[in-house]
Structure 1
Amino acid sequence: MATVRRTACNLCEAICGVLVTVEGGRVTDIRGDEADPLSRGHICPKAVALRDLQEDPDRLTQPVRRTATGWQELGWEEAYAYVAEKLQAVQKTHGRNSIGVYLGNPNVHSVGAMTHMPTVVRLLKTRNRFSATSVDQLPHMLAVHLLYGHQLMVPVADIDRTSYLLMLGANPLASNGSMMTAPGFGRRLKEVQKRGGRVVVIDPRRTETAAVADEHHFVRPGTDAAFLLALIQQIIADGHAKPAAYVDGFDQVVSVTRSWTPERAARVTGIDAETIRRIAREFAGAETAACYGRLGVSTQQFGALCQWAVQVLNIITGNLDRPGGSMFPRPAVDTLRGIGRGHIGVWKSRVRSLPEFGGELPASAMAEEIETPGEGQIRAMVTIAGNPVLSTPNGRRLDEALETLDFMVCVDPYINETTRHADVILPPTPPLEREHYDLAFHQLAVRNTARWNDAVLPRPSEARHDWEIFRGLGLALLRSTPRSRRRAIASLRLRLSPRRIVDLGLRIGPYRLSVRKLRKSVGGVDLGPLQPALPDALHTKSKRIDLAPALILDDLPRAAEVLLADRGADDGLLLIGRRHLRSNNSWMHNSARLVKGKPRHQLLMNPDDLKSRELADGQLVEISSAAGSVSVEVAASNDMMPGVVSLPHGFGHGRPGAHLSVANQVAGASANDITDPTLTDPIAGTAALNGVPVKVTAAPRG
């Protein structure tokens, strides 16, 4: 007999509500849940692929250990004890910082990882911690930490009420609204236009979002800061700046942006001065407006400056904390309360002195910290739900470095390009076997809602949820720890279930909910549109916003020097990334349902750039940079700005030992094999994955 169960697709930030039909213990249908107040029935192809994750024959269900004769299964308790023993032995011999930890993107999509993984990481007591943050949203977090006092106090565009939406380096029709949880973004965008609003996209590629916007302008990769500074300068010059009474530092912003005229910005961005001036005046004059900058403006040399400028633009036009502008969600579980406000530069990486942020070092430093001898050298590695060989700079170098480790353990359901180096792999259950409450993305949602999801399918007896893995590993580490109050607190945290923790958070939260109440609701609880909250909600000590943090302003001379440098007759190309609705970084390519159809791993290149290099559409080409080279097919595309090429990240499968049956058949090339780990934003340490100088030539024959 078929039954229909409600849950959420937690594969991306949209957290869409879905209805799953189960018959005979198997999933037979997945469709959108019209009763969900946030997603309103919307789903994308990834939601349907939840079934593929569940049934994937490559997915591990029990711990495995690498031996001379291959991978061998072992029991859970044996695995926990063995891993704890090996990690503690490495630290005893080489010091506590001899262990490195890398946390991948899927961790924030799992309630069990969010509630239990941090305790285990703290128990390791290492400063060599890395995550996908520094190849993604770190500039967002740094900017809001400096301005609003908390690293996760990120305002989102109130798209459901705005009349002017300006987007830079963002493609929410493919991402569903990254750092802005907005399921059904296409429908929401059309609603903006139907009520007479305007959508403007600034991007080096005519993306899926740009194609349906009211206006799109190509911008030279890495120059977005010049465009944003010129908007700020023009708005101030026109006398349209109106920061709130609780905002300080406006006079300094006036001073440091005075020279960034639209004419100056036009020289470097490729957008003419009159267009910049017009957009500035339209933004300032709109009834409500919101500026939203995403990955394209974060993963470049001036990511922190860009994200600061996005916030300043919203603030000085009076659009921060204003319905239809840029607003702060108020989730049912106050995640800001349980996570630190953030800090920067408390310590630095050993080799290049890159700053930590929020307790994590830039991922671009991982390989060198493994390779370079001396005190603090990484000798053992823990990766949790991450594949940094494909997702961090110069992945080929990291691939080689991982092979030299004394020990490596991975919490991951697959033997992939990274975990193939592990000594032990601990696989968690797939999404449909887990309970879920979204702790991360309600904090970024364009509407306040809450929803608890029971597991759709029962967990097999031999399987373990991720929080159970962290509990088992954490308790094994604690067995050799002297008794103390800190040990007792850690043990208690590990023994509580995610449901208990979420229930407590709901009960003390702003709406006084509970898991029981949410389980009784149909599709979740609608808590209403975003509401003004400033200045009371600020986490700054003064309850005021300082628009002019020295860390950002001190970087402006570097920006001027680099952006205004004479590039001469350089005919090289700039590489940018891209994402697709049917792809999710590196971790959904083993779904035949998602990877079928037209290949999506090619290098996109403007036809004129192909012609000038005597290259042909479909030809195998070699892309080379300071970090190395890769070969891949090229595809002609008028959607590319001349002088810019685009290669999606997350590909590059097919390496020996990676057991990914489907992914290995569509291997493509890894964009991060040619991204330079030395090219970073020096303020935040974010990897510059966009605007990478490359040459494209015909691939050698043979």
Structure 2
Amino acid sequence: MSSQSKQALCRFCHALCGIQVQMEDGFAVKVVGDKHNPIYQGYSCPKGRELPYQHRHPERLLTSVERLEGGRFGSIPFERASAEIAKRLQVLIDRYGPRCVALYSGTHSFPYTASQPMATAFMDAIAGPMRFTSNTIDKPGKAIAMALHGNWAAGAQVFENADTWLLVGSNPLVSKTGGIPNSNPALRLHRANNRGLKLIVIDPRRTETAKRAYLHLQARPGEDPTILAGMIHIIIGESLYDSDFVRENVQGFEDLRQAVDAFTPSYVEARAGIPAPQLLEAARVFASAERGCASVGTGPNMAPHGTLSEYLSLALITLCARWLQQGDRVPNSGVLMPRRNAKAQANPRSPAFGYGEQLRARSFTDAACGLPLNALPDEILMPGDGKVRALINLGGNPVAAWPDQDKTVEALQALDLHITLDWRLSETGQLADYVIAPKLSLERPGLTLPNESLSFLGVGFGYPEPYAQCVPTVQEVPAGSDLIEEWEFFYQLARDMALQLKLQTCYPWAVPDQKPDPVALDMRCKPTTEELHRMMTAQAHVSLEEVQRHPHGFIFDDPDARVAAKDEDWSWRLDVGAESMIEELQKIGEESFPPALGCNSESSRPFRLTSRRLDRIYNSNGMQFKKLSRPYSYNPAFMNSRDLDALQLSPGGLIRISSRHGSILGVIEIDDDVLPGVISMSHCFGGAANDESRVREIGSNTGLLCRFESEYDAVTGMPRMSAIPVAVHSVT
């Protein structure tokens, strides 16, 4: 038996942790964190440590499969599947036009560098406008808010040297995203607290992160804009904002000042449940610090007014001048991305919405966050010109992850052609015509370019330092298997349809300056993944060859990278008074609100159901692993013991949770870190049929509690997926 250890990138989730893989006879047997990695520093999570088992999981597809008569699935060689799909797609396009083909890029398309760019190249080649991503049911408000507010060319201050930080509905110790860098966030927070960081967390649950905060504002769900507006009210009223920065770089200040005038500490206390002294302290701590930023998590985006929460967090950062200034050191000037053109000025604002493809459903248009996924099921189900008839599902599991599960299933069943790329026959794969089986993390090369690209996108994302890693394939695919990388599917499909593909050489959405021209691929001689990586890093600040010289990853310090002065006669400003956001904030101030939640409320739906992350589960992946499904293989309904006592409920008992639109069963668990009046549940559980008789095995799908066409954001399409008003009844 031969044994060795190899460096790799974990791609179970988006964090791309540097790991050490112990091999025996060429196959992985154990994964640990790479202690020699300069930023992950030996970190690994339970999910990453299960990679060896995932590669030999009994549910894993080792060949692509096709749907046979009677609904059974049978193995099919990939090249034959591609040829059949190409023929069927071409018939549909010839008859109905390219709009009939839709692409959905799910969460698991992100960690693999070439997957999404090649999918985009394919859609470009067929001139298909119907491109959807999981962003519009995750954090769509980020992109819309940034487009309305504007982006700062030099970027924001980073966590590493912050005196304070504000997390709104974000729990990065579990989610590995949103504020604290996802490379070993627990260690980073520990070091920050030791140096005196004053972390402020707004969350209805005392999360793992909130327990380590200087100040936790345990707010009622859905009231994040109220609290942020209250903090801005205090900062403006007490003249704690940076008046010089506002005068030189900001517009809309007076509109914002008037809009937050009604959000006094007493009003915020009555509405959001935050004691006025706590709100005052939070505002003063944040504004009086020299350095620090704010970031908003998934939960507030899934709740009503998610874009407004994001926008007000940006306004808060801007009022306190928490953007890098002239002469500041640029913490990450780029490695595999082009070098950042860091200047102390606002970038030109791009349209937030109202352009591009006009959707038939609910008059949605393209937007900074992408086409609203909210519309896709209706675009499939609605008859007439423009109907979507074919769907390519890249790395997603819509049946488990999309809201409104009933309508999602109905739409998927109505397709003429449905292709899913997934490592197992998922709930969505069971409804597909073809499921293309991909290679997994250790069977393909890896590059940290996707995560680095996030450094240029929003506050608190990506790498705060110029870090990169490139790793080769760790192990071969199983003998007798027929597996591909996702990019190969789109390349082969294009060849079968006689299409020319043009690949973007970097992530163009993350480059605010002039975009590099796409590169035409050789359609006769298929490139390798390594060759694609070289193409995609052609404009890199540091060459790919130099990155490869450091197998454990490396921080490519650029001590001379400093923020340049604003261009002469530069007129663009950051906008804290965008008309649509001010109007939305004013409406919030005018609406009525319940004086209490839960057992103290007289409402017919007195509780609020909120989303939460589980450390061992990543969306719909993890519950298939015995080690990761402990202690729960289902998603418990976590409630405060005070609510259980008042309702005479017991831990382990069943409750019926009912919204305006549907109901699910929940298995009660006590969590006194949850605010009374709140039920905290994870999404993506319940399976395809949501069989209530198996709720203690598979849980329930919270998507059954919301509807695409009700209580949705008019721009992003995000329905109300968190802070959902619900009633609770015991089930005997």
TM over 0.5: yes
* 1:621-654: CA deviation from partner (whole Å, max 9, x where unpaired): 1111122111121112211111111110121126
Q: Which residue of 2 aligns with 1:468?
A: 488
What is the letter of the counterpart of residue 553 of structure 1?
Answer: I
Q: Which residue of 2 aligns with 1:21?
A: 22
Q: Quote the offset at 1:226 in angstroms.
A: 0.8
Q: Which residue of 1 aligns with 2:382?
A: 372
Question: Does the 8 Å contact 2:218/2:274 carry over to 1?
Answer: yes
The 2-side partners of 1:614 and 1:565 are apart by 24
**1:450 aligns with one of 465, 468, 485:** 468
> How is 1:93-242 mapped onto 2 (pairs within 5 angstroms)?
93-148=95-150, 158-178=158-178, 181-242=181-242
The 2-side partners of 1:636 and 1:326 are apart by 47
**2:549 aligns with one of 513, 516, 520:** 520
What is the letter of the counterpart of residue 294 of structure 1?
Answer: G
TM-score (norm 1): 0.90
Q: Which residue of 1 aligns with 2:443?
A: 433
Q: Quote the offset at 1:529 in angstroms.
A: 8.7
Question: Does the 8 Å contact 2:262/2:589 carry over to 1?
Answer: no
Q: Which residue of 2 aligns with 1:597?
A: 631
* 1:81-104: CA deviation from partner (whole Å, max 9, x where unpaired): 211221222233334322232110
> How is 1:70-85 mapped onto 2 (pairs within 5 angstroms)?
70-85=72-87
What is the letter of the counterpart of residue 29 of structure 2?
Answer: T
Question: Does the 8 Å contact 1:101/1:129 carry over to 2?
Answer: yes
Question: Does the 8 Å contact 1:654/1:667 carry over to 2?
Answer: no
SS in 2 for 1:109: coil
Identical amino acids, percent of aligned pairs: 24
Q: Quote the offset at 1:276 in angstroms.
A: 0.9
Q: Quote the offset at 1:234 in angstroms.
A: 0.8
The 1-side partners of 2:283 and 2:524 are apart by 50
Does residue 1:294 correspond to 2:297, yes or no? yes
* 1:496-523: CA deviation from partner (whole Å, max 9, x where unpaired): 444334334545223x322x22222141
- Range 603-612 or range 153-162, more displaced: 153-162
Q: Quote the offset at 1:367 in angstroms.
A: 2.4
**1:319 aligns with one of 316, 319, 322:** 322
Question: Does the 8 Å contact 1:167/1:293 carry over to 2?
Answer: yes
The 2-side partners of 1:154 and 1:595 are apart by 43
Question: Does the 8 Å contact 2:685/2:700 carry over to 1?
Answer: yes
SS in 1 for 2:322: coil
The 2-side partners of 1:279 and 1:503 are apart by 47
Q: Which residue of 2 aligns with 1:698?
A: 730
What is the letter of the counterpart of residue 714 of structure 2?
Answer: P
What is the letter of the counterpart of residue 540 of structure 2?
Answer: G
SS in 1 for 2:209: helix
Q: Quote the offset at 1:394 in angstroms.
A: 0.8
Question: Does the 8 Å contact 1:246/1:535 carry over to 2?
Answer: no
The 1-side partners of 2:73 and 2:486 are apart by 21
The 2-side partners of 1:139 and 1:519 are apart by 36
What is the letter of the counterpart of residue 530 of structure 2?
Answer: R
For the structure 1 residues 77 and 522, does the alpha-carbon distance in structure 2 shift closer, same or farther, using more than 3 Å as the test?
closer
The 1-side partners of 2:712 and 2:44 are apart by 35
Q: Quote the offset at 1:350 in angstroms.
A: 1.0
**1:363 aligns with one of 373, 376, 381:** 373
For the structure 1 residues 547 and 676, does the alpha-carbon distance in structure 2 shift closer, same or farther, using more than 3 Å as the test?
same
Does residue 1:619 correspond to 2:656, yes or no? no
TM-score (norm 2): 0.86
What is the letter of the counterpart of residue 278 of structure 2?
Answer: T
For the structure 1 residues 491 and 509, does the alpha-carbon distance in structure 2 shift closer, same or farther, using more than 3 Å as the test?
same
What is the letter of the counterpart of residue 287 of structure 2?
Answer: A
How many residue pairs are counted as aligned between the two chains? 683
SS in 1 for 2:114: helix
For the structure 1 residues 358 and 31, does the alpha-carbon distance in structure 2 shift closer, same or farther, using more than 3 Å as the test?
same
RMSD of the alignment, in Å? 3.2
Question: Does the 8 Å contact 1:134/1:687 carry over to 2?
Answer: no
Question: Does the 8 Å contact 1:123/1:477 carry over to 2?
Answer: no
The 2-side partners of 1:594 and 1:195 are apart by 34
What is the letter of the counterpart of residue 449 of structure 2?
Answer: L
**1:687 aligns with one of 691, 711, 719:** 719
Q: Which residue of 2 aligns with 1:345?
A: 354
What is the letter of the counterpart of residue 672 of structure 1?
Answer: G
The 2-side partners of 1:487 and 1:507 are apart by 11
The 1-side partners of 2:156 and 2:401 are apart by 26
- Range 577-586 or range 594-603, more displaced: 594-603
> How is 1:376-455 mapped onto 2 (pairs within 5 angstroms)?
376-442=386-452, 443=455, 444-455=462-473
SS in 2 for 1:593: coil
The 2-side partners of 1:413 and 1:664 are apart by 25
Question: Does the 8 Å contact 2:9/2:441 carry over to 1?
Answer: no
> How is 1:32-43 mapped onto 2 (pairs within 5 angstroms)?
32-43=33-44
SS in 1 for 2:6: strand
What is the letter of the counterpart of residue 130 of structure 1?
Answer: F
For the structure 1 residues 470 and 286, does the alpha-carbon distance in structure 2 shift closer, same or farther, using more than 3 Å as the test?
same
What is the letter of the counterpart of residue 549 of structure 1?
Answer: A
Does residue 1:631 correspond to 2:634, yes or no? no
SS in 2 for 1:592: coil
Does residue 1:59 correspond to 2:93, yes or no? no
Does residue 1:559 correspond to 2:562, yes or no? no
What is the letter of the counterpart of residue 434 of structure 2?
Answer: V
Question: Does the 8 Å contact 2:154/2:324 carry over to 1?
Answer: no
What is the letter of the counterpart of residue 642 of structure 2?
Answer: D
What is the letter of the counterpart of residue 22 of structure 1?
Answer: M
Question: Does the 8 Å contact 1:357/1:684 carry over to 2?
Answer: yes
Q: Which residue of 2 aligns with 1:660?
A: none
SS in 1 for 2:314: helix
> How is 1:635-674 mapped onto 2 (pairs within 5 angstroms)?
635-653=669-687, 655=689, 666-674=697-705
Question: Does the 8 Å contact 2:159/2:292 carry over to 1?
Answer: no
Q: Quote the offset at 1:239 in angstroms.
A: 1.0
For the structure 1 residues 335 and 271, does the alpha-carbon distance in structure 2 shift closer, same or farther, using more than 3 Å as the test?
farther
